[in-house]
């Protein structure tokens, strides 16, 4: 199967099979920024969307949070499940295979917070992102936080490579990336209280990503 024919889900499975710590073992910059906010708001139960191989999942768990982590990559989730069993942390970390474009498999008011680093920057249309954010409100408790990051229109890769849809391009690594501007994020967050949207940098070996950190509070 060529890279062009491969779905993004298959691509992530292959990447995680080939590299056990694709993003490294240290938490993301968003994870580091989010932890004190979660602690300040007395968060205990966190839902993580697009957990990958779990670098932020483990960081939160080691700092006293209980994390339910979802990803549509079977490879990434299985690696997390094996690691949680090995470290006897299955009561703290629950990893599940799930495509978040489908309804979240949890009752209403299940979580104190939802966290996702670059999940919405995947191959999701604005309509799909809006639907997921609505589902997040359903499973969040009243006053719960939704903290996420997206690559933005100041990013050096914005507008480059193979166009895949509105504000989406496939880079040479085979990843489809959705970039957002602040106005779009505020429109998508209309049902939340927007606590802040601020830009931050995430350096890589070859360039520096430009992202927005978005922190929302559930108003229901």
Which pLDDT band, with edges at 50, 70 and 90, does 106 fall under? very high
Residues contacting residue 115 through CB under 8 Å, at least 6 positions apart: 30, 31, 34, 38, 46, 47, 48, 49, 56, 60, 147, 148
The pTM for the full model equals: 0.93
Which pLDDT band, with edges at 50, 70 and 90, does 4 fall under? very low
Tell me what pLDDT residue 116 has. Answer: 98
In Å, how far from its chain's centre is CA 219?
21
Whether residue 120 contacts residue 90, with contact meaning beta carbons closer than 8 Å, is answered with no
Tell me what pLDDT residue 86 has. Answer: 86
Average pLDDT, integer, range 84-92: 88
Tell me what pLDDT residue 3 has. Answer: 44
> How far is 111 from 62, CA to CA, in rounded Å?
18
- pLDDT above 70 (res 5): no
- pLDDT above 60 (res 2): no
Tell me what pLDDT residue 24 has. Answer: 67
Return the CATH class of domain 8-218. alpha beta
Write the pLDDT tens digit of every residue in 120-145.
999 999 999 999 999 999 999 999 99
Q: Which of 16-20, 92-96, 145-149, 215-219 has the lowest mean pLDDT?
A: 16-20
Write the pLDDT tens digit of every residue in 11-62.
878 887 787 876 767 999 999 999 999 999 999 999 999 998 899 999 999 9
Write the pLDDT tens digit of every residue in 162-207.
999 999 999 998 999 999 999 999 999 999 999 999 999 999 989 9
Which pLDDT band, with edges at 50, 70 and 90, does 1 fall under? very low
C-alpha distance from residue 179 to each of 84, 151, 214 (Å): 33, 5, 14
């Amino acid at each position: 199967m060529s890279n062009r024919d491969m779905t993004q889900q298959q691509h992530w499975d292959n990447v995680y099979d080939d590299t056990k710590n694709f993003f490294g073992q240290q938490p993301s910059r968003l994870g580091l920024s989010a932890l004190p906010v979660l602690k300040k708001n007395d968060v205990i139960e966190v839902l993580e969307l697009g957990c990958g191989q779990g670098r932020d999942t483990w960081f939160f768990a080691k700092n006293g949070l209980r994390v339910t982590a979802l990803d549509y990559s079977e490879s990434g989730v299985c690696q997390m499940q094996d690691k949680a069993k090995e470290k006897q942390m299955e009561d703290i970390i629950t990893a599940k295979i799930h495509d978040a474009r489908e309804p979240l498999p949890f009752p209403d008011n299940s979580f104190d917070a939802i966290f996702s680093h670059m999940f919405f920057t995947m191959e999701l249309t604005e309509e799909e992102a809006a639907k997921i954010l609505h589902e997040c409100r359903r499973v969040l408790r009243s006053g719960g936080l939704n903290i996420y990051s997206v690559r933005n229109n100041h990013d050096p890769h914005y507008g480059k490579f193979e166009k895949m849809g509105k504000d989406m391009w496939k880079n040479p690594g085979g990843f489809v990336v959705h970039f957002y501007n602040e106005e779009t994020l505020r429109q998508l967050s209309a049902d939340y209280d927007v606590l802040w949207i601020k830009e931050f940098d995430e350096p890589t070996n070859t360039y520096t990503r430009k992202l927005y950190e978005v922190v929302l509070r559930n108003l229901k």
